[in-house]
Amino acid sequence: MLNDINARGVTEAHALEALNSAVGGAVAEGNVGGGAGMIAYEFKGGTGTASRKIDIAGQGYHLGVLVQANHGTRDWLEVSGVPVGREMHDDLVFPSDLGSIIVVIATDAPLLPHQLNRLARRGGIGIGRNGTTGGHNSGDIFLAFSTANPQSNPWHTPDVMTLSA
């Protein structure tokens, strides 16, 4: 085991330090930050990213994905549809899946909420292509958001309503 999920080691001071030291730029990947102590398919897991530039009707958009991989048993690992994990029996860690995976998908394409919901579900399909089924132990999280359309929604109820007499 690489960590103790029940230790409750993160304090308020840790959270404030993380928020106050946040900077822009590339995300640290691998065995760092939230990726420390993670196991994927019973190998060392962690944080990873991928991005693509896509063109739709002549307009360019970006799609980025951040994954924190802490899921899957060795037997589940597939590469291009081949169950390679079934042939790797050395250094097994768990008798069953005990982890979770977090997938955050960001885009600057102007997607509506129902489209973002569908995009988030595609994250689960992508993980399934590697042989992973959904887990029940810690929780799998798939989130998608768009940075387009920053204007306010004219049909949205105001956050604060003032009643006059």
Catalytic residues: 100, 138, 140
* 146 three-state secondary structure: strand
| Rounded Cα distance, 160 and 165, in Å | 16
Residue type, 104: V
Question: Is 108 in contact with 149 (CB distance < 8 Å)?
Answer: no
Cβ atoms of 33 and 66 within 8 Å: the answer is: no
Contact 65, 52 (CB under 8 A): no
Question: H helices within the chain, ranges in order?
Answer: 12-20, 113-128
Tokens of 16: 């404030």
Supply angle C-alpha 143, 149, 155, rounded to 5: 95
